[in-house]
Each structure stands twice: as structure tokens, then as C-alpha cells.
Amino acid sequence: MVSEITHELKLHKIGIYEHATEEEKQTLDDLQVDSFIKYYKSYQHSVNDPEGFWAQIAETFTWRKKWDKIVEYDWETPKFEWFKGAKLNITENCLDRHLDKRGDDLAIIWEPNDPNEANRTFTYRELHAEVSKFSNVLKNNGVEKGDRVCVYMPMVPELAIAVLACARIGAVHSVVFAGFSSVALSTRINDAECKVILTTDGVYRGSKAVDLKGIVDEALESTPSIETSIVLNRINANITMKAGRDIWWHEELAKVSDICPAEEMDAEDMLFILYTSGSTGKPKGMVHTCAGYMIHTAYSFKNVFQYKHGDVYFCTADIGWITGHSYIVYGPLAAGATTLMFEGIPSYPDYGRFWEIVEKHQVNQFYTAPTAIRALAAQPNELIDKHDISSIKVLGTVGEPINEEAWHWYDEKIGKQKSPIVDTWWQTETGGIMISPLAGVTPTKPTFATRPLPGIQPCLVNENGEELNTNPAEGRLCVKYPWPSMARTIYGDHNRYKETYFTAFSGKYFTGDGSFRDLEGNYRITGRVDDVVIVSGHNLGTAPIENVINEHSNVVESAIVGYPHDIKGNALYAYVIVYETPENDDFLRHEINDLIARTIGPIAKLDKIQFVPGLPKTRSGKIMRRILRKIAENETSNLGDISTLLNPDVVQAIMDGSLVK
Ligand code: WT7
């Protein structure tokens, strides 16, 4: 570790782009932001001298050639380039560079769906060999740098290996969550014109085995670009292998060596495409590039979770989402961490499964979503109490605003009030965490994502695009300086990228979220601003009203949409899930409206309240308001594609006015 003074000098040197020598080289550990004063200093540094700040972090990585320029950008085109001129391979940073010191440390711990099946582990050395082998399999099958490879696999270690193998040879992976339908899959394959698809014969989900290969076969009927499908045998299913197209994973592996030099990539070469649903139209293929993505995911992982060498980190997401890309695979591995992958679901064999895993593998950092937290909170306490979860040091949440009740439950029951909660706000588009406490460093505040990470410059603007510079403030959340892991384009549609993110407010990235900033500068994400409803000329965000409804002791969850109203323009329609069927529906409706009137004001009172058995949700847990809006408007003839929903059958139940699914 270099001394404080050399360190300061170094910053200055980096400002004029002199690179650190091997001797001066620091590690991410040396740069760990482990006190609030360090956070404050790093943040100031990152605003005053963004290039010097990022250069210092970038110096800790392994490069084939270092950059000529840290950042070059133009909000108009828009075009963002980070570490221009640099050459690297992200897998040399995730694997090769750890071999000397950490070759025998665990890189991946894999926990299967069935707790009685043996878990599997991979040291960095083993993972390096497996990734090299599969890289050779891809090469043998004609995959070249720049080719797109679709990965449609359940949470088995081979999924992580496949993703890294693509990166090693410079192929662009497009992971599609293995719960998506064949239509959703073929749309994504065709958009990216993938040449190869990687899949498995099937997948275990709780007590069910799902025929994944059947879904792939259906999708491949309309995907002309696919030449080969490589199939992993996971469940010994009785499947048909199409001659000339389908080949077995294990047979291909038997033909290759475990040595595969990494392809030299340009900092701005495409690393992957990941689809995210837009509020309208077809899914957006967000494009992430090599160097900037690597640097921000590793740095944010290390600091948000305060990961220390030897810790076991468990993120419950699926690699099919950005959370899995950035915080199961790339971030943790680039930081040399031990990352736990779980194949199953939180309720199998019972709702204590997460806690069983925590105990079994002595998990130190646990990262999940508010939806899961609420589902777990509704279960009996014994399911937690029968496990020793005292290894937990840090709790994380991501994906949607966490309500106060769920936050406190998480803090008390799981964190035992000694494990800081990091409420991490970010998006598929941002690539990595943007606003979040650093565990144990930043004071937390229930329901607040708190402060921007060093290097991230969020701001709030009003409808006219004017930046709000005083606190407290409430407005639309934007980012006013580029950051390394931002998506560079929408695959095949740069114009949509520009329109969606850079047109509403010039010179800024618009997130689509609304946010409140308190007196101290803590950010609270209030929800998508596209879910705003104008009632009698008043701007009403649905999220804050839902939060109030959810405070009622008999309410599990709720969703509000607007529907046309003769006098008010729009009125509010609420779909409410209750714990216990009320004896008198109208009495409960009255209580809810009373609560809203008292907390927000009579203007926010609901015109209609329907009690429902569930809410239609996307696989990532987002309520599909589009569908609820149509039901509220009585326009149910054209609900659009509901097959990608987590719970498509709830839609019919809501239309029937039924309280049971
Ligand atoms: C949207 C992005 C980032 C990985 C998972 C979701 C919402 C995300 C939070 C949070 C409040 C959050 C926002 C954002 N969101 N994290 N901590 N608090 N809202 O990725 O599917 O791209 O969704 O999720 O609305 O814009 P995504």
C-alpha cells in the first residue's frame, strides 16, 4: 500500500495521464471507502476531478494497454466513451489476475434447487479452466469476436461459465431469463441476430421440472440467424436433438483443452446486450461495453457491500437480469470475491430456504428484492428462527422502492439490527449501483437509497428542466455527468436511446424515476414518473398513495392506476390484496380512504377499490400497470402479451372480480 502522500501525488500525476507503475499499483482494497470521511473526500474528488478519480480506480485493474483518455462524451449525439484507446479482456480481470494470490479461493459456490443434491464449488483456478474450455467449445463451433450468443439457461454454474466464455473470446452475450416464453425468446434472438444459443434440456423450479428445450425448439422455428444450439444436460429429460443444429455440451467439452488465451478487446467493444422492457413497444437491447462496465461494477460491489477477502456474498437474483450480470458474475469476480449462485426459489422446500442457505454457507452479505422481502415477512418466524443466520453482516435490496414496514422487518428479523441495509438504486441502463449507502459507512434511513456513489452525479429537475439546487426537493431524477458503466446505446436503435434517455432534459440522462431529496441530501426514490396520474388537475404519483394504503394492517400490497372520469379528467382505481377477507368490504374501503385523506389529503382519495387475489407482475417483480389500466378502463379485449408475466392467471381472476386465483 502506498503512503497517503504518495497517494495524493499520484492523483495529480494521473490527472495528466501518467500511468501508475507496477510498483505504485494499488488494489481495490487500498481504495476501499470504509469511513464516512473517506466517502466524503472521494465524493468531492470525483466531482472536482472526475477523470483523476476514475483513473485512480482504473489503475488497479489489468490492462493489455492503458487508455489515452479517461472520458470523451457528447450529450447530443449522444456518445460516451470511457478509457479510450485501452485494451483489455474482462475475464483476465475476473479470473487470470487472481490466480497467483487467490487461485485456491472459492470463486463460485453453487446451491442447487434441491437441498439434498450436492452443492458444487469452483475455485478461481477451476473456474479459469472451465471458462477456458467452454471458450474453446464456442470457437470450435464458429463463434467469433463480435458474434452474438443467446444464453437461455437456468441458474446453473455453466450459465456463469458460458457468460464468461463469451467475454473471453469477445463474443457478445445476450442472456434471456429462462422463465420467458418462446415468443419473448425469439423476439430477442432476432433483434440481436444471435448465431448460437446455449441452453439446457430442462430446469428445476421448486418441485417442478420445466421443459426448457421444448420452449427453445418452439422459438427456433422463427429465428433464421441461429446456426447451432449447445445443450447442457441438467435434468436428464427426454428431448429431441435436431440433427445439424443441436449438440450436447458435454460432448463438445470432451474435445477441447483448458487453455484459451483471452481475446484483446477495445475498452469500448460491446460486452453484452441485455433486454429491458420499455413502457411501450418492443424490448430495448441495452448495450454495455468492456472497460467502463468492469470498473464500475467491481468498485461499487466492493464498496457498497464492504466486501472483505474471505466473505461469502449471496445475491438471490437471476443472471437473466442486470443484477445477476453485475452483482453475481462480473462485479464480485472482478473484485476477487466468493459469489453464491442459487438455482431454486425462496419457497422450496419451504420459505426458510434462504435462511438455510445463509446458515449452510455462512453468508456474510445477502442481497435481494423488496418483493421477496415482503413475501418472506408474511411467513411464520420459526422459519427464520430455526436457522443460525448470525453470519450476516450486510443486507441489500434492489429493484423497487422498499416500503417502511418491509425495511423494518428486514432490519429487525434478518439483520438483528446490527447489519446495515443497503437500499441500492440503479437500472439495467446504468449497469451498476448509482445511489446507495455504503454498508456501515453511510448512515441509513428507512426507504431512502441515501447518497450517490463516488463518481455519480445525480440531480433533481422540475418539469421545465430546471435543476433543483436546494434541499429538501422533489423532482425527476437525472444524472448530469457520464459514468463508466452507462449503457452506450440500444442495440440497432440509437435514435430510441437518444429519445428515451437524453431528450427530455438536455445535457442530462433522464432515469424515468421521481425522487425526493431530504435536508441532508439523502435521496428517496418515489417511483416511476410515468405512473403519474393527473386528477382534477393535480399531479398524483401513484407510489406515495400505494405506500399509504399498504400501511393499513389488513393490506398486503396495492396498485393504483388512473382511469378516465367525466369531471375530474382522471380518477384513481386501486387494486388491493388483503390478508384477511373483510367482513364488510365497504367498511374497509372507507378505512383506506380515510387513511389516505389523513396522510396525503382528500384529493388523493380513491374512486374505486377492488380487492384482488394478486397483482400481475413481471418476472422482475414490477407491477404491470398497463394491464391494470386496461381493466380499470374496461378495455379488456386487447390486453397485449401477458405470457411473460410471473402470474398470468391472476389477470383473469381480477377481471372476474374473484378473490381467489
Ligand atoms: C427501475 C430499474 C437495478 C436492478 C433491478 C431493476 C426501480 C431499482 C430501486 C431502489 C427504488 C428502484 C426504479 C428503476 N428501482 N432499484 N433501490 N429503490 N426503486 O432493474 O428492471 O432496469 O429497473 O427499478 O424504478 O428505474 P430494471
Give, for ligand 1, the residue of 321, 525, 624 to mutate: max count of ligand atoms closer than 8 Å to Cβ.
525
Determine if ligand 1 sits within 6 Å of the CB of residue 449: yes
List the residue whose alpha carbon is closest to atom 20 of ligand 1: 427
Task: Round to whole Å and give the CA distance between 353 and 424.
Answer: 24
The answer to whether residue 391 scores a pLDDT higher than 80 is yes
- Ligand 1 centroid, distance to 511 Cα (angstroms): 10
What is the pairing mode between strands 458-461 and 106-111? Answer: unpaired
How confident is the model at residue 539, as a pLDDT?
58
Task: Round to whole Å and give the CA distance between 197 and 175.
Answer: 10
The answer to whether residue 359 scores a pLDDT higher than 90 is yes
Give SS3 for 165.
helix
The C-alpha cell that represents 556 in the structure block: 398486503
List the residue whose alpha carbon is closest to atom 6 of ligand 1: 399
Give, for ligand 1, the residue of 177, 277, 398 to mutate: max count of ligand atoms closer than 8 Å to Cβ.
398
What is the pairing mode between strands 338-342 and 394-398? Answer: unpaired
Transcribe 29-63 into DSSP letters. Answer: TTT---SHHHHHHHHHHHHH-HHHHHHHHHTTS--
Cβ neighbours for 510, distance < 8 A, ≥ 6 positions apart: 476, 478, 501, 502, 503, 504
Fold of 123-263: Rossmann fold (3.40.50)
Q: What percent of the chain has pLDDT over 90?
A: 80
The C-alpha cell that represents 321 in the structure block: 437480469
Helix (H) or strand (E) holding 285: strand 284-289
How confident is the model at residue 641, as a pLDDT?
78
Cβ neighbours for 500, distance < 8 A, ≥ 6 positions apart: 278, 284, 490
Transcribe 80-129 into DSSP letters. Answer: EEEEET-EE-HHHHHTGGGHHHHTTSEEEEEE-SSTTSPPEEEEHHHHHH
Amino acid type, 6: T
Task: Round to whole Å and give the CA distance between 134 and 246.
Answer: 16
How confident is the model at residue 23, as a pLDDT?
83
Same fold, 123-263 and 536-656: no
Determine if ligand 1 sits within 6 Å of the CB of residue 225: no
Task: Round to whole Å and give the CA distance between 202 and 507.
Answer: 47
Q: What is the DSSP letter of 161?
A: H
How confident is the model at residue 660, as a pLDDT?
55
- Ligand 1 centroid, distance to 372 Cα (angstroms): 14
How confident is the model at residue 279, as a pLDDT?
46
List the residue whose alpha carbon is closest to atom 5 of ligand 1: 399
pTM of the model: 0.85
The answer to whether residue 2 scores a pLDDT higher than 50 is no
Residue of 1, 62, 52, 3 lying closest to 30 (CA atoms):
1
The answer to whether residue 95 scores a pLDDT higher than 60 is yes
Give, for ligand 1, the residue of 274, 279, 427, 485 to mutate: max count of ligand atoms closer than 8 Å to Cβ.
427
| Ligand 1 atom closest to Cα of residue 322 | 4
Task: Round to whole Å and give the CA distance between 185 and 398.
Answer: 25
Lowest mean pLDDT among 106-110, 242-246, 305-309, 652-656: 652-656
How confident is the model at residue 659, as a pLDDT?
67
Determine if ligand 1 sits within 6 Å of the CB of residue 505: no
Cβ neighbours for 188, distance < 8 A, ≥ 6 positions apart: 150, 174, 176, 180, 275, 283, 285
Span 368-377, average pLDDT: 90
- Category of 653 on φ-ψ map: left (φ > 0), alpha (ψ -120 to 50) or beta: alpha
In 371-472, DSSP assigns E strands to: 394-398, 421-424, 458-461
- Residue 473: count other Cβ atoms within 10 Å of its Cβ: 18
The answer to whether residue 448 scores a pLDDT higher than 50 is yes
Kindly list the distances between the CA atom of residue 10 and the CA atoms of 13, 29, 94, 531, in Å, as whole numbers in the listed order.
5, 17, 25, 47
Around 152, how many Cα atoms within 13 Å sit in the side-chain half-sphere?
29
How confident is the model at residue 9, as a pLDDT?
43
Determine if ligand 1 sits within 6 Å of the CB of residue 434: no
Task: Round to whole Å and give the CA distance between 340 and 580.
Answer: 37
How confident is the model at residue 13, as a pLDDT?
45
- Average pLDDT for the chain: 92
- Ligand 1 centroid, distance to 279 Cα (angstroms): 14
- Has domain 536-656 been given CATH number 3.30.300.30? yes
Determine if ligand 1 sits within 6 Å of the CB of residue 514: no
Q: How confident is the model at residue 6 (pLDDT cuts 50, 70, 90)?
A: very low
Amino acid type, 187: T
The answer to whether residue 4 scores a pLDDT higher than 60 is no
How confident is the model at residue 122, as a pLDDT?
98
Span 599-607, average pLDDT: 84
The answer to whether residue 80 scores a pLDDT higher than 70 is yes
Span 393-412, average pLDDT: 93
Q: How confident is the model at residue 63 (pLDDT cuts 50, 70, 90)?
A: very high
How confident is the model at residue 134, as a pLDDT?
98
Determine if ligand 1 sits within 6 Å of the CB of residue 396: no
Determine if ligand 1 sits within 6 Å of the CB of residue 647: no
List the residue whose alpha carbon is closest to atom 18 of ligand 1: 401
Kindly list the distances between the CA atom of residue 384 and the CA atoms of 371, 406, 421, in Å, as whole numbers in the listed order.
17, 15, 18
The neighbouring-strand residues paired with 286 are 274, 490
- Ligand 1 centroid, distance to 399 Cα (angstroms): 4
Span 106-117, average pLDDT: 98
Task: Round to whole Å and give the CA distance between 66 and 70.
Answer: 10
- Ligand 1 centroid, distance to 377 Cα (angstroms): 21
The values of phi and psi at residue 104, to 5°, are -100, 5
How confident is the model at residue 11, as a pLDDT?
44
Determine if ligand 1 sits within 6 Å of the CB of residue 276: yes
Residue of 337, 275, 300 lying closest to 107 (CA atoms):
337
Judged on CB neighbours under 10 Å (0-12, 13-18, 19+), 150 is: buried
Cβ neighbours for 471, distance < 8 A, ≥ 6 positions apart: 517, 518, 519, 520, 521
List, for residues 458-500, the tens digit of each pLDDT value: 999 997 889 999 999 999 999 999 999 999 999 999 999 999 9
Cβ neighbours for 9, distance < 8 A, ≥ 6 positions apart: none
In 457-548, DSSP assigns E strands to: 458-461, 473-479, 489-490, 509-517, 523-528, 532-535, 538-541
How confident is the model at residue 619, as a pLDDT?
81
The answer to whether residue 1 scores a pLDDT higher than 80 is no
CB distance 48 to 9 below 8 Å: no
CB distance 207 to 216 below 8 Å: no
The answer to whether residue 401 scores a pLDDT higher than 60 is yes
Span 594-623, average pLDDT: 88
Lowest mean pLDDT among 272-286, 343-357, 408-422: 272-286
Spans of all domains in the chain: 4-91, 123-263, 536-656
Determine if ligand 1 sits within 6 Å of the CB of residue 358: no
Lowest mean pLDDT among 13-17, 81-85, 286-290: 13-17
The values of phi and psi at residue 73, to 5°, are -150, 160
Rg (CA), the chain: 25
List, for residues 514-557, the tens digit of each pLDDT value: 999 999 999 999 877 766 677 776 656 787 789 889 989 999 99
- Ligand 1 centroid, distance to 251 Cα (angstroms): 40
Place of cell 404491470: 624
The C-alpha cell that represents 112 in the structure block: 442447487
The neighbouring-strand residues paired with 425 are 435
Determine if ligand 1 sits within 6 Å of the CB of residue 500: no
Task: Round to whole Å and give the CA distance between 521 and 517.
Answer: 6
Residue of 520, 484, 487 lying closest to 501 (CA atoms):
487
The answer to whether residue 3 scores a pLDDT higher than 50 is no
Determine if ligand 1 sits within 6 Å of the CB of residue 531: no
